Amino acid sequence: MTPTPSPTPQQLLLSRYSHLADSIAKLFFPYAEVVIHDLDSQRVLYLANNLSRREIGDESALEEIERTIAERYVGPYEKVNWDGRKMRCVSSVLFDDAGVALGVMCINFNIAVFEDMHGMLGMLLKGAGLVEQPAELFRDDWQERINTFMHRWLQERQLALNTLSRQHRKELVEALYAEGAFNGKSATHYIANVLGLGRATVYKYLQTLK
């Protein structure tokens, strides 16, 4: 009986790791590319979701591979893709059963789209073109003053509005009263709604203060 020939390093790499490359690329599609490099030939052996416009068989151009083998992986690090956009990358060494390094799997993540989003969000949050609140429209905006006072009060005590205890709500009503917040028209109804209290409860708290 003819013995079954042992798989080549390339066959072993593909059988063990190509489905992992596909899984990672699909999970992070369309932002991640996964490349398997064959150390024996120093060439690209497999590509999943090709973002770098390389081809199977291209030279890998791996450098300082001995250090990478010893540390088993390297990264995250950044490199520039063909279109000038940044990629964030991690490279992991692939071994056989005997612990011999056969290849390197590189996961290349396109972060440029997120940098664009970050820039857009930064512009929106900074308020490009923002003007002051029109005084003629909001001269007596008591709701905003109540909101500002309440959230400053909460921040000073490291509390959250949706987790306030009944005692905290009572204390906040008292603080709002001292601030003159109940002078606004319909202020009692508004504060009761914001604090999740019945108006009767708010009036009860206020009676003890008058």
What is the CATH number for 47? 3.30.450.20
Q: Name the phi and psi angles at 140, rounded to 5.
A: -125, 55
Instruction: Please check whether residues 148 and 58 belong to one and the same domain.
Output: no
- pLDDT band of residue 140 (cuts 50, 70, 90) is very low
Report how many domains make up the chain: 2
> What is the pLDDT at residue 133?
46
The chain-wide mean pLDDT, for the chain, equals 81
Task: Name the CA radius of gyration of the chain, rounded.
Answer: 31
* Inside any domain, residue 136: no
pTM over 0.85: no
Q: Which helix (H) or strand (E) holds 78?
A: strand 73-80
* Inside any domain, residue 125: no
- Which tokens go with 8? 């080549």
Q: Tens digit of pLDDT for each residue in 66-97?
A: 777 777 888 888 888 877 788 888 888 999 88
Instruction: Please check whether residues 176 and 103 belong to one and the same domain.
Output: no
Coil, helix or strand at residue 32 = strand
* Inside any domain, residue 180: yes
Q: Tens digit of pLDDT for each residue in 30-53?
A: 989 999 999 888 888 999 999 888
* Inside any domain, residue 1: no
User: Domain end: 82, 116, 150, which one?
Assistant: 116
Q: Tens digit of pLDDT for each residue in 160-210?
A: 888 888 889 888 888 888 888 887 667 888 888 888 888 888 888 888 776
> How many CB atoms neighbour CB 73 within 10 A?
13
> What is the pLDDT at residue 45?
93
> What is the pLDDT at residue 74?
84
Instruction: Please check whether residues 109 and 149 belong to one and the same domain.
Output: no
Domain enclosing residue 92, as ranges: 9-116
Cα–Cα distance for residue pair 9/15, rounded to 1 Å: 10
> What is the pLDDT at residue 46?
95
> What is the pLDDT at residue 122?
66
Q: Is the dihedral of CA 153, 158, 163, 169 positive or negative?
A: negative
Q: Is the dihedral of CA 63, 69, 73, 74 positive or negative?
A: negative
